Structure 1
Amino acid sequence: MTISLSKSGIFMIMLAFLIQGCSNLKYLPEGEFLYTGGKVNIESDSISKNKEKALRIKLETLLRPRPNSTFLGLRPKLYFYNIAGTPKKEKGFKYWLKNKMGEPPVLFSQVDLEYNASLLQNYSENKGYFNAKTTADSTERNRKVTAEYNIDLGIQYLIKEITFPKDSSNLTAAINNTRTASFLKQGEAYDLDIIKAERERIDANLKEEGYYYFNPDYVLIQVDSTVGTHQVNLNVKLKEETPQKARQTYTINNIYIYADYSITEDTLSTTSAAATIYKDFTIVDPENKYKPQVFERSLRFKKGDLYNRTDHNKSLNRLVNLGTFKFVKNQFRTSDSLENTLDAYYYLTPLPKKSIRLELLGKTNSANYAGSEINLSWSNRNALRGAELLTIKGFGGFEIQASGQNQGYNIFKIGAEAALTWPKLLTPFNINSPSAFVPRTKATLSYEYQTRSQLYGLNSFKSSFGYLWKENIRKEHQLNVFDVTYVSPFSITDLYKEQIAENPSLGEVTQKQLIFGPTYSYTYTNTMETAKKSTFYYQGKADLAGNITGLVTGADIESGNPSEILGVAFSQYVKLESDFRHYFKLSNKSQLASRIMIGAGLPYGNSTKLPFIKQFSSGGTNSIRAFRARSIGPGSYNPEVESATFLPDQTGDLKLELNTELRTDLFSIVEGALFIDAGNVWLLNEDPEKPGAKLSKDFLKELAVGTGAGLRFDLSFLILRTDLAFPIRKPYLPDGNRWVLDKIDFGNRAWRKENLVFNLAIGYPF
């Protein structure tokens, strides 16, 4: 059915919506007015337009109460509240509509103009406008009232001089030594928030110097506004009533660790007799659950150390980061045995040592496969009494295609994985990381049996041993000293062999592969700093396979006799990847997310190309969303999949991908997105079976481009993502005809079937 609307019809519908929005007023109580918000007008000749705009926005956020939310000038939530009436019970549709979707009217009688005016006056004075004058008024029209606040700012006061305490006591000397990092600057505007931050800064610095009992309230910053025209002097002082204990530095004396503490039972009285002395620690662990070295590595304090907040926080963070304790509690108490010392107490409540987890997953991808996977894992959080994590997992799953070119070639897999993680670096050298995060050593061993109906099967074995460590919350490293993968095919059918004869690239999937060598990745991100307008994420990876072995054996595949291990030619290559993402906050409800990915693999010695499982691909739910998974390229190569029995995987040695996405909150848990993706993969060496696949100087002309829109549903425990995309540039078409914008035809069923790609995924694409 097709519905056609004239311009006048569209206008009438919009008018009906507006009239409906106005009908909210009929629900107002007699004599009441709907409050539509407050407006702040600033009068000042002494500040710039940009500064005035920023100040006005800040002042308007202080006004209370907030008016009813609006959407395109309407108040849908207020409308839902009104039409729901008075529900007879606290459940059902009407109750949900009124209390979940709706919101009650904000009435003008709830607005205290004088109170809001005083808020604006105080804020202005706190920002150095000591002579500001604020007035409040309101305007009413059709039972709707807007509050108006006028502020004559006057001239902002600036800081003329700053003095710090100069007497000879240790504490005041310590305060004076921090002045080089002071937030207070001569010539800058007076700001009460900066003054408060300065007191916090001084306290934080003193905590690093052993002043455990000091706090910001002991710092007094006097303001003298009589020193000049629109100027102030600031005098930083120590309050006379500062107690003696706050004037002293403290060192660490005894360190007590309760390794099996219960927050619901009095375990201290029943376990105190079971204490063990280990170096500087008194450890209460009646059942001997943990090796003492666990706490020695985790705690940054030793007996005799000067107290400092950095080591205090690092110790707590490392204990939590071990992953074996449910609760970590810490106290410092003045020691009875030595003057100016602290006894440290750590109360640790363990998590259950062993646990079993069962996961059932549903999956779908842009290659029209749907399926399920089940994972059963068993964990031991303290396997060797050193807070080691042992995980053994079994898994199985399937992917099927109900319709399409791969129909009937279903994928089934089953496998197991064992992983053991130590909360330390297992090296010949004694390395003690100063980070707040526990470094780890991890060893894994896994096997997967995979079969593709009517085609082939694969046995995959993987093993790795390496290290993971974080310098801080932003920087993370992962180094696998060795990373081994062995893939062996079986049961290759005649049908698949026939397809290989037509398309030799399909044979790469069923080749025996032996890959071994070190891998390294580095990650930097500041996306956790949500107050910043611009944040970014970067991950770089390096994969070196068979390098030393190839050098020792003199491997050279061009000689026609590649080097082998256990009868399998090993891979030799260098592979580098970079993933850079940038997030720009446009407003509190929207942001622009962008990504650029670059990857390059250089096969040499024993290899002419990257092994299939290490090659780059493009297309799919987290890539170029307008194209099916692994269906782009390489280069301008056209596999003519229309005539093939099933879709081949299209991979390359080089990759370039660019994405940008505008994300904005729509309502409730729903977020909308508009996006555009571009990219492709290329081969480094010429392949006669794939014309156009090699990287050339015209590689930018071979970028695939797609665009689309999507919805994201924030379900708190996960983000469910739906994207609908279509290509606007197809790299396999003849040069000059690759842009297909003029071919877009949403009304054409054949076009939709060929071009529209629906993606269902978990989480953001980047």
Structure 2
Amino acid sequence: MNKLPQQLNKLLFAATALFLVGCSNTRFVPEGDYLYTGASITILSDSLPKSKKSALEDLLKESLTPKPNKSFLGLRPQIYIYNKVSEPKKDKGFKHWLKYKVGKKPVYLSDVDIPFNLDLIENTGENNGYFNISASYDTVPKNKKVHINYEVSPRVQYTINEVTFPQDSTILAKEIRKTTDESLLKINDPFSLDVIKNERERIDAKLKENGFYYFDPNNIIVQVDSTEVKHKVNLKVKIKNDTPELAKEQFTIDKIYIFSDYNLRNARNRRNLVRANTDTILWKDNVYILDPKEKFRPQIYDRALYFKSGDLYNRSNHNLTLSRLINLGTFKFVKNQFVLKDSTAQKFDVYYYLTPNDFKSLRLETLGKSNSASYVGGEVNFNWRHRNFLRGAELFTATLYTAIDFQLGGSKEANNIYRVGSRFSLTWPRIIAPFKFQSSSAFVPRTRVQLGYEYQNRTQLYTLHNFNASFGYLWKENALREHDLKLLEVTYVAPEKTTAKYEEEIAKYPPLARVTEKQLIFGPVYSYIFTNTMLPKKHTFYYKGLLDLSANLTGIISGANAEKEAPKTILGVAYSQYIKTEHDFRYYLKLNNTSQLASRFIAGVAYPYGNSVHMPFSKQFFVGGSNSIRAFRARTLGPGSYDPRGEGSSFYHDQAGDVKLEANLEYRANIISFLNAAVFVDAGNVWLFNEETTRPGGQFSKEFLSEIAVGAGFGLRFDFNILILRTDLAMPLRIPYYPKGDRWTFNEIDFSRKTWRRDNLMFNIAIGYPF
């Protein structure tokens, strides 16, 4: 491996030293004080197992206050910025933002209330069953910095010996006893105040499902007795004596009133709205609707209301109804009210006040974009939407757009791309099918029809007409699981013309002909998404699976066999027959509050058969670019060990395959405020199912592992809340089209050489995270 020149080494050393000195914050520490760098907990106990010690240390450390300033590689740049920026004269502006938003006020030893922390440690221990806990501390000063070590003696942790619940004959006590099998209070479990709080909330949630509208967790008290058995506690769950009588009663639903066009500005006594308005009509089953302008068909409420007259009140139906009404997308505000009919009836009248959105809207969008194939460009979209198209909360959208992509740098023979098109979509807030679809999800299932057309002109090469249409369903089981089933998706691609220049390229490289050939693709497409990344967990996952089928049944019935005879056609166009599946799995590990390890693995297979020898170009897999293997330009990698540089044309960026494998690993850390950094490694490639003489080495074989490309790099992410701007600098570490034995490129790395930097350093700019 070539060494960096001596001068460059000196320069890097000097820059590093200057940075380390510059970020030293101890010279700003007031006389007699210390920069607080944090605290540690040492558990003094021979009886506690290692796992319990570790858990207790983490628990106690989390309770300590204040938290020290964040550090990055041992440095604290936020303190340095705070100290170096003088006090701003105003409470706004750049200087104030830099000092107080980017910078952070240093935490000194004088800011730490050690006696208060000792009390916190003991209280936290007692709340977790360590009733005889004690704590002491010691400070460890060094070079104007100080670290505090707290020594804790927890002694014996108390466990639960017995749990009892209310035994009287009231309805409330009976309902509580029905839930005891699900109790969080388990015999021999450690005593925990948090578990007791959760148990109270569990009981309250169960009672809310059984008509106890006015009950509250604070109506429950859990008495603790630690005197009967040594190092054990007896827990007695009781209803407080001062619990209101209403909280002890079950309530049912009587009448339901829906105000479909409620105006918040003209709100008055809501119950009087019913009496004062003669337009209130009985729809069915004690459900009354006030919609004098008949903006909505009542059927939309049939699929949104989970309460029926005579039902016992329960919180799930309460929340599901509100969620469904909101998820219709037609109402701007949704409010409800449960009104007690009288003090003896134990019945509610339910009122829903719905404020519609503006049904019609126009929007003009302008977009700027770039990609790793050196293309930049823009797009203009003109959007029109109607949120209540057929008076049933249907969403109709129409979009007209025009776009241009042109190449900045890269291949000199690249050609600009002009696109003009339209998209139309109509979505019903229900499943339209000959079968009955039941869903208890808070998310409204939908039926969608889409139509689209695009005219594409790649200058000097070809022009294409692209028509597409689909019909299918979208539904969510819950917030974590989502389904998208297109029963039929049709794509028809027709070339308008190809230039003589492109024909010459096809003669030299026949696979290019597939880009402009007539294509007819039709069949079902199904995708499934599971994600819990929105949850505050240490381990979170994302998975998306795709199954795309084209003309499978048609090809089988017609006996299509393109390898032996001419392909079968529909209206004179050969249809594509294939099976395609792709799986995207992501795993996120939260290391601490400021750093994360993110990983992704993608595997895809697209198999042409029957009426097709090759996959349609638009349905093949591609790798490279800002959201893939970042050390390689988009669509320049693969298939297999094929070297696309030998093409000598503008089609360097059109490499595709039928098999895809990709893996990514990225370490992400927050540096200061809006600025995050990342270090990453990407690997993968694409391959062909069938061998092509024009792309030697492209077929998938048992040697596929030796044809994996590897790249690595680092990047910065600028998080502005509404926008994340990402910059990544990557370089190839393994190039699959190099000769066997020479594919690793460590020995070629030479940052001092201009030609190496130009040919190997790949700079990506993108919006959002790569995965």
Q: How does 1:41-120 map to 2 (within 5 A)?
A: 41-91=42-92, 94-106=95-107, 108-120=109-121
1:544 aligns with 2:536: no
**Which residue number in structure 2 is paired with residue 653 of structure 1?**
658
Q: 1:378 & 1:656 partners in 2: Cα distance?
A: 40
Change (3 A) 1:296 1:62: same
CA contact (8 A) 1:253 1:342 kept: yes
**Which residue number in structure 1 is paired with residue 637 of structure 2?**
632
Q: Which moved more, 1:337-346 or 1:602-611?
A: 337-346
CA contact (8 A) 1:405 1:646 kept: no
Q: How does 1:455-470 map to 2 (within 5 A)?
A: 455-470=461-476
Q: 1:151 & 1:337 partners in 2: Cα distance?
A: 55
Selected match of 1:565 from 546, 570, 575: 570
Shift of 1:74: 4.9
SS in 1 for 2:604: strand
Q: 1:427 & 1:8 partners in 2: Cα distance?
A: 70
1:283 aligns with 2:284: no
**Which residue number in structure 1 is paired with residue 427 of structure 2?**
421
Change (3 A) 1:255 1:227: same
SS in 1 for 2:124: helix
Q: 2:17 & 2:401 partners in 1: Cα distance?
A: 58
Listed one character per residue, the Cα deviations across residues 552-574 of structure 1 (whole Å, up to 9, x for unaligned) are 32322234222111110011111
Change (3 A) 1:636 1:66: closer
**Which residue number in structure 1 is paired with residue 617 of structure 2?**
612
CA contact (8 A) 2:400 2:423 kept: yes
Shift of 1:135: 4.3
**Which residue number in structure 2 is paired with residue 477 of structure 1?**
483
CA contact (8 A) 2:680 2:714 kept: yes
SS in 2 for 1:652: coil
Structure 2 stretches of 5 or more lacking a match?
none
CA contact (8 A) 1:400 1:407 kept: no
Q: 2:20 & 2:556 partners in 1: Cα distance?
A: 78
Listed one character per residue, the Cα deviations across residues 45-101 of structure 1 (whole Å, up to 9, x for unaligned) are 332344333323332332333344445555543443344334344455544443333
Q: Which residue identity lines up with residue 117 of structure 2 in the other structure?
A: N
Shift of 1:638: 2.1
Q: How does 1:106-185 map to 2 (within 5 A)?
A: 106=107, 108-135=109-136, 149-185=150-186
Q: Which moved more, 1:311-320 or 1:146-155?
A: 146-155
CA contact (8 A) 1:413 1:449 kept: yes
1:364 aligns with 2:370: yes
Q: 2:561 & 2:20 partners in 1: Cα distance?
A: 77
Q: 2:133 & 2:21 partners in 1: Cα distance?
A: 46
Change (3 A) 1:22 1:500: same
Change (3 A) 1:536 1:103: closer
Q: 1:291 & 1:552 partners in 2: Cα distance?
A: 44
Q: 1:656 & 1:583 partners in 2: Cα distance?
A: 19
Q: 2:13 & 2:697 partners in 1: Cα distance?
A: 53
Listed one character per residue, the Cα deviations across residues 431-482 of structure 1 (whole Å, up to 9, x for unaligned) are 3422111000000111001101100001000100100011111111111111
Q: How does 1:564-603 map to 2 (within 5 A)?
A: 564-603=569-608
CA contact (8 A) 1:408 1:453 kept: no
Change (3 A) 1:556 1:420: same
Q: 2:471 & 2:670 partners in 1: Cα distance?
A: 43
Selected match of 2:417 from 395, 411, 414: 411
SS in 2 for 1:518: strand
Selected match of 2:674 from 669, 684, 687: 669
Change (3 A) 1:507 1:176: same
**Which residue number in structure 2 is paired with residue 21 of structure 1?**
25
Q: Which residue identity lines up with residue 264 of structure 1 in the other structure?
A: R
1:752 aligns with 2:753: no
Q: 1:344 & 1:70 partners in 2: Cα distance?
A: 54
Q: 1:169 & 1:10 partners in 2: Cα distance?
A: 77
TM-score relative to the length of structure 2: 0.93
**Which residue number in structure 2 is paired with residue 296 of structure 1?**
302
Change (3 A) 1:39 1:432: closer
TM-score relative to the length of structure 1: 0.94
Change (3 A) 1:194 1:505: same
Selected match of 1:497 from 493, 503, 513: 503
1:211 aligns with 2:212: yes
Shift of 1:336: 3.4
Change (3 A) 1:441 1:109: same
Shift of 1:358: 1.8
CA contact (8 A) 2:101 2:673 kept: no
Q: How does 1:228-377 map to 2 (within 5 A)?
A: 228-266=229-267, 268=270, 272-280=277-285, 281-336=287-342, 339-377=345-383
Change (3 A) 1:13 1:237: same
**Which residue number in structure 2 is paired with residue 220 of structure 1?**
221
Shift of 1:675: 1.3
Change (3 A) 1:759 1:382: same
Change (3 A) 1:282 1:690: same
Shift of 1:275: 1.2
Shift of 1:202: 1.0
- Structure with higher RCO (Cα < 8 A, 6+ apart): 2
**Which residue number in structure 2 is paired with residue 741 of structure 1?**
746
**Which residue number in structure 1 is paired with residue 707 of structure 2?**
702
**Which residue number in structure 1 is paired with residue 695 of structure 2?**
690
- How large is the RMSD of aligned CA atoms in angstroms? 2.5
CA contact (8 A) 1:550 1:606 kept: yes
Structure 1 stretches of 5 or more lacking a match?
none
Q: 2:623 & 2:34 partners in 1: Cα distance?
A: 58
SS in 2 for 1:651: coil
Shift of 1:504: 0.6
For this pair of structures, how many residues does the alignment match? 761
Listed one character per residue, the Cα deviations across residues 346-396 of structure 1 (whole Å, up to 9, x for unaligned) are 111211111122221111111111111111111111111111111000111
Change (3 A) 1:3 1:617: closer
Q: 1:11 & 1:633 partners in 2: Cα distance?
A: 39
Q: Which residue identity lines up with residue 418 of structure 1 in the other structure?
A: F
Percent identity over the alignment is: 52
Shift of 1:293: 0.8
SS in 1 for 2:29: helix
Change (3 A) 1:37 1:236: same
Q: Which residue identity lines up with residue 298 of structure 1 in the other structure?
A: A
CA contact (8 A) 1:443 1:466 kept: yes
Change (3 A) 1:332 1:42: same
Q: Which residue identity lines up with residue 211 of structure 1 in the other structure?
A: F
Q: Which residue identity lines up with residue 433 of structure 1 in the other structure?
A: S
